[in-house]
Amino acid sequence: MQTLIEQHLGNPLVLALLLFLGPFVLEEAAILAAAALAAAGEMSAALALGAVAVGIVVSDWSLYALGALAGRSRRIRGWLDPAQLARGHRLLHKGAFPAGLLARLIPWLLFPVFVASGFLGVGFRRFALINGMIALVYVVVLFLGALGLNIVLLDWLGNWAWAVAGLLLLAVILGGRWIARRYFPAEDASAE
């Protein structure tokens, strides 16, 4: 993705398309890239924010649709325990907002929660409204924070700002993985 962005610097419409597609791969990286491009003056902040926000919402809807399609398959439903499906259905219908909020804040929950929402038949309008509100607040807050940080880094470090921003992104990713391993260890199969 970085190579594509570098090839199309100076073309804000192509950059907007790339930012729209970015969340289908990794949302946080797309938001940070949008903020960095806006801070560097490659595109307006409004265009960068709009492209990445729409991309996030559409990618979330795509995960819901994937689950809804899988939920229509008798073969796939046959692999699952009906009691567990009923329990998941009750949980997601009662707690769609908390589930959506946790999925947004804990990245590895996003895929299973959104696919399960479609699979278990949480209404699309309800899902879209709840998820859309949460996603837009999340994207705006993260984008504006990253934009401010990028502007400060560009003013303070000049051309070295990109390297520092990359190291900060790497630190966030590695820190998240460390926290996940420390506080959510994989179950030991030999312990059973």
55 within domain boundaries: yes
pLDDT at 69 over 90: yes
Q: What is the mean pLDDT of residues 143-155?
A: 79
Calculate the average pLDDT of the chain: 83
157 within domain boundaries: no
Window from 63-72, 147-156, 177-186 with minimum mean pLDDT: 177-186
156 within domain boundaries: no
Domain count, the chain: 1
54 within domain boundaries: yes
pLDDT at 77 over 60: yes
Of the two residues 127 and 155, the one the predictor is more confident about is 127
192 within domain boundaries: no
139 within domain boundaries: yes
Of the two residues 154 and 80, the one the predictor is more confident about is 80
160 within domain boundaries: no
Residue span of the structural domain in which 54 resides? 2-145
Of the two residues 149 and 144, the one the predictor is more confident about is 144
pLDDT at 191 over 70: no
pLDDT at 188 over 70: no
Q: SS3 letters for the chain?
A: CHHHHHHCCCCHHHHHHHHHHHHHCCHHHHHHHHHHHHHCCCCCHHHHHHHHHHHHHHHHHHHHHHHHHHHCCHHHHHCCCHHHHHHHHHHHHHCHHHHHHHHHHCHHHHHHHHHHHHHCCCCHHHHHHHHHHHHHHHHHHHHHHHHHHHHHHHHHHHHHHHHHHHHHHHHHHHHHHHHHHHHCCCCCHHHC
155 within domain boundaries: no
